[in-house]
Amino acid sequence: MGVFVCLFTGLALLDPVSTSFSVTAQTERISVNILDDNGSRINLYEATIYDKGTEPIYQGFNGSLKLQRGTSVQIERIAYGPAILTFTTASGTTTGTLFNESGKFVRHTGRYLQVFLENLRAKADSGFTTVVPIDGEVSIGRSIDFETFRESTALFRSGQISLVGSSRFADSFDAGTIQLFLGDQIVFEKQQNNAFGFVTINEEPGMQASYRVAANQATVLKSGPQIEGSGYAIRATKLDRLLKSPTYQFASLFFGSLVIITTLITFLVDIIPNKNLLRLLRK
């Protein structure tokens, strides 16, 4: 019996826990590094498009932009203002390819591209919203130190992170939910796969993001100077698994019951044959 208890204890201590983070957020700024070509296409409606020059290369453009792998996308929209999508690439010669409404090729874009989307609330009222796919690395929020005159800083507004843990010998389990607040910044450490989800720009202020990613842990940084103690790390722990995993709960109940039953049997075996001791106990 002791061998089984030791094995279970060793398994609980040595079996590593992986964490999957599901993020939903309302933010005014988000950055995505596109690592794959899967679904990396953005539909554009009445967009104003710039390259390196000061004059737009397209005004009122309707069509789509297919992003090239390795492109970095920064999306910024303060309150109900226009959305500014900035595309850059360091590894290639193009950020993507523009297509018209019929899906026909228009042109390859350069290493820098900027897209302005305006009148977003009116467009949402008419049934059109902009969706940007997430399939890569995500950075959401930013450090807030100070603002300059007549310039507004894009803020993280609110959100939450749901943690789901898993391990080799246990089913997935809910490891809790963390609320995010104004000015927070989220950093994932040792990301194990691409973040997958989307950003939607619609009638709401800023934009809404929903994505999931597996990582060793996430760090929530609070606003202000980034010094030691300005944030906290979150992840699913072995204690979460022991308390919330159905597999481990059943195993704990099973072995706990065996220990109680074994202890009771041992006690009875030691006590019952000793009749003299029983008589003394009765007296």
* Residue 92 or residue 65, greater confidence: 65
Q: What is the pLDDT of residues 220-244, one digit of tens each?
A: 988 765 556 678 999 988 777 777 6
Q: How far is it, in rounded angstroms, from Cα 164 to Cα 78?
A: 32
Which pLDDT band, with edges at 50, 70 and 90, does 63 fall under?
very high
Q: What is the pLDDT of residues 259-275, one digit of tens each?
A: 666 676 666 666 655 55
CB 230 within 8 A of CB 222: yes
| Closest residue by Cα to residue 224 from 185, 186, 178 | 185
Per-residue pLDDT reduced to its tens digit, 155-179: 899 999 999 988 776 678 889 999 9
The reported pTM is 0.78
More confident residue, 275 or 115: 115
Please determine, for residue 36, whether its predicted confidence score (pLDDT) is greater than 80: no
pLDDT-derived band at 101, boundaries 50, 70, 90: very high
Using the predicted structure, report yes or no on whether residue 147 has a pLDDT greater than 80.
Answer: no
| CA–CA gap between residue 65 and residue 97 (Å, rounded) | 6
| pLDDT at 8 > cutoff 50 | no
Name the band, by pLDDT with cuts 50, 70 and 90, for residue 4: very low
33 alpha carbon, distance to own chain's centre: 14
Residue 5 has a pLDDT of 46
